[in-house]
């Protein structure tokens, strides 16, 4: 299917020009980044197509820098770059894992981290990984800049707090404490499928083999794009990390996390997956925390 005729197409080359266009056109325009979600939606005529603001020439948005020890990941960073970057791989492995797990190579070469978070599908790979890493988003609009934690930004499936006159400039990751490891694991029906289950864990080792801190976020549960497993976090935090703890979590995780049935899987099958993947992801994050990065 062809999209409806697009009346106006803008290609700003500076951030100031892009922000001006977004402020002027508001909800009448769509921001076009990698186009991997927006273009299929336009072709299906699922979203109106009055005006497009193509930000691909705004090179200021394609930067990866360190700020206050953390990372500033510009809104135009492609998933291929994220998956391959050694600094991200060392300090934010969950995000590198999620970027590598999303779609196929052609999709990853175009798609951006931020585009995936803004599209906010309940099976999206990026948002749970970013939530486990306690990421924030930097937004800019006519009122200036503001930072929003990712769990406040994504309020539901295909729903965020992004204002009509705002755009996202970057994803921000805090500096990881020493002895922190993270990962993202995905289960799909077939290779390169949407997530039937996605799980991200970020864990910090404490003294005497204990888990000092842990954040667990799940996606693909047929509900909210980000589901924090706070009860499991509480059960793991402060505990000696060993095989007995992981064994205990197998049953416990599958009975405490709420999930639903959709066209990808039944709730009963997802509960089984949760029992397998929660201990598996915790173990991998624990192994990675033995190295000093994240």
Ligand X SMILES: Cc1cc2nc3c(=O)[nH]c(=O)nc-3n(C[C@H](O)[C@H](O)[C@H](O)COP(=O)(O)OP(=O)(O)OC[C@H]3O[C@@H](n4cnc5c(N)ncnc54)[C@H](O)[C@@H]3O)c2cc1C
Per CB under 6 A, the segment of 65-73, 162-170, 250-258, 272-280 that binds ligand X is: 162-170
Question: Binding mask 202-241 vs ligand X (x if CB under 6 A, - otherwise)?
Answer: ----------------------------------------
- Shortest distance (Å) from residue 236 CB to ligand X: 26
The reply to whether 136 sits near ligand X by the rule CB under 6 A is no
Q: Which residue has the tokens 């406040």?
A: 152
Q: Which of 83, 125, 218, 275 binds ligand X (CB under 6 A)?
A: 125
- 100 contacts 109 by C-beta, under 8 angstroms: no
Q: What is the number of H-type helices and E-type strands within the chain?
A: 12, 14
Residue 228 and residue 244: Cα distance in Å, rounded?
23
CA gap 228, 187 in Å, rounded: 18
Residue nearest to ligand X (CB): 115
CA distances from 104 to 10, 36, 111, 194, 216 (A): 28, 11, 10, 11, 26
Which residues lie across from 29 on neighbouring strands?
A: 51
Cβ 74 to ligand X shortest distance, Å: 9
Query: Can you tell me the distance from the alpha carbon of 91 to that of 134, in angstroms, rounded to the nearest whole number?
Result: 13
What CA–CA distance (Å, rounded) separates 74 from 76?
6
Q: Which is nearer to ligand X, 30 or 270 (CB)?
A: 30
# binding residues, ligand X (CB under 6 A)? 28
At its nearest, how many Å lie between ligand X and the CB of residue 246? 27
Give strand pairing partners of 200. Answer: 184, 217
111 counts as binding ligand X under rule CB under 6 A: yes
- Binding window for ligand X (CB under 6 A); candidates: 4-12, 105-113, 240-248, 262-270: 105-113
Query: Does residue 74 interact with ligand X by CB under 6 A?
Result: no
**Binding interface with ligand X (CB under 6 A):** 30-38, 40, 75, 102-103, 107, 110-112, 114-116, 118-119, 124-125, 162, 167-168, 194
């Amino acid at each position: 299917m062809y999209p409806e005729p697009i009346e106006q197409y803008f290609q700003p080359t500076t951030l100031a020009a892009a922000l001006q266009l977004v402020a002027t056109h508001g909800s009448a325009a769509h921001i076009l980044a990698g186009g991997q979600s927006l273009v299929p939606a336009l072709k299906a005529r699922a979203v109106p197509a009055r005006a497009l603001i193509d930000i691909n020439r705004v090179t200021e948005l394609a930067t990866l820098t360190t700020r206050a020890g953390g990372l500033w990941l510009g809104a135009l960073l492609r998933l291929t770059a994220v998956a391959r970057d050694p600094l991200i791989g060392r300090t934010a492995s969950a995000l590198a894992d999620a970027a590598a797990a999303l779609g196929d190579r052609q999709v990853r070469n175009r798609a951006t981290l931020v585009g995936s978070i803004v599209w906010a599908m309940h099976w999206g790979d990026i948002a749970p990984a970013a939530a486990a890493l306690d990421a924030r988003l930097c937004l800019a609009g006519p009122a200036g800049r503001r930072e929003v934690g990712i769990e406040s930004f994504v309020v539901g499936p295909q729903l965020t707090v992004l204002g009509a006159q705002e755009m996202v400039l970057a994803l921000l990751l805090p500096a990881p404490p020493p002895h922190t490891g993270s990962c993202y694991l995905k289960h799909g029906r077939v290779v390169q499928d949407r997530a039937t289950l996605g799980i991200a864990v970020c864990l910090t080792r404490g003294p005497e083999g204990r888990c000092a801190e842990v954040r667990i976020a799940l996606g693909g549960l047929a509900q909210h794009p980000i589901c924090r497993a706070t009860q499991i976090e509480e059960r793991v935090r402060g505990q000696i990390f060993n095989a007995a703890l992981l064994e205990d979590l197998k049953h416990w995780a599958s009975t405490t996390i709420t999930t639903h049935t959709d066209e990808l899987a039944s709730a009963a099958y997802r509960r089984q997956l949760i029992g397998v993947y929660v201990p598996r992801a915790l173990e991998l994050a624990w192994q990675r925390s033995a190295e000093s990065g994240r």
